[in-house]
A = this chain, B = another copy of it.
Amino acid sequence: MPAEFPADSVGLVKPQCLPVNQPLTLASGRVLESYDLVYETYGQLNAERSNAILICHALSGDAHAAGYHSQDDKKPGWWNNYIGPGKPIDTNRFYVVSPNNIGGCGGSTGPTSTNPASGKPFGPDFPHLRVRDWVESQRILMDHLNIQQWAAIVGGSLGGMQVMRWSLEYPDAMRHCVVIASSMHLTAQNIAFNETARQAIMSDNDFHDGHYYEKAVVPRLGLSLARMIGHLTYLSDNAMEEKFGRELSSGSFRLGQDSDLEFQVASYLKYQGEKFSTSFDANTYILMTRALDYFDLAREYGGDPVKAFSHANAAFLVISFSTDWRFSPQRSQDITNALIAAGKSVVYTDIESDFGHDAFLLKNPRYEKVFQNYMQHVHQELQAGE
Contact = CB atoms under 8 A, between A and B. Distances in A.
Interface stretch (A15-23, A104-112, A257-265): A257-265
Interface string A248-264: 00000101111001010
Contact of A294 (B193, B200, B261): B261
A195 B266 contact: yes
Instruction: Give chain A's interface secondary structure class.
Output: helix
A188 B263 contact: yes
A186 B207 CA distance: 34
Contacts of A127: 258
Interface string A129-144: 0000000000000000
A324 interface: no
Contacts of A188: 237, 240-241, 243-246, 263, 265
Interface size class of A (residues with CB under 8 A): 35 or more
Contact of A200 (B200, B241, B244, B265): B200
A256 B28 contact: yes
Interface-central residue, A229, A253, A294, by most chain B CB under 10 Å? A229
A277 to B, nearest CB: 11
Interface in A270-320: 270, 273, 290, 293-294, 296, 299
A241 B246 CA distance: 32
A200 B244 CA distance: 22
* Count of chain copies: 2
A217 interface: no
Contact of A240 (B187, B224, B245): B187
Contacts of A27: 255
Contacts of A246: 185-186, 188, 191, 296
A244 to B, nearest CB: 4
Contact of A258 (B30, B253, B255, B299): B30
A362 interface: no
B196 A255 contact: no
Interface-central residue, A199, A294, A299, by most chain B CB under 10 Å? A199
A205 interface: yes
B221 A203 contact: yes
A156 interface: no
Given A225-B200, A225-B225, A256 B29 contact: yes
Contact of A204 (B191, B203, B245): B203
A224 B203 CA distance: 10
A179 interface: no
Interface-central residue, A196, A261, A269, by most chain B CB under 10 Å? A196
Interface in A60-110: none
Contact of A192 (B196, B225, B265): B265
A355 to B, nearest CB: 13
Interface string A224-239: 1100110010010100
A263 B293 contact: yes
A235 B192 CA distance: 11
Contacts of A269: 192, 195-196
A277 B310 CA distance: 49
Contacts of A270: 195, 199
Contacts of A225: 196, 199-200, 203, 225
29 contacts: A28-B255, A28-B256, A28-B257, A28-B258, A29-B255, A29-B257, A29-B258, A30-B258, A127-B258, A128-B258, A187-B241, A188-B237, A188-B241, A188-B265, A189-B235, A189-B240, A189-B241, A191-B266, A192-B240, A192-B265, A192-B266, A196-B225, A196-B229, A196-B232, A199-B273, A200-B200, A203-B204, A225-B225, A253-B296
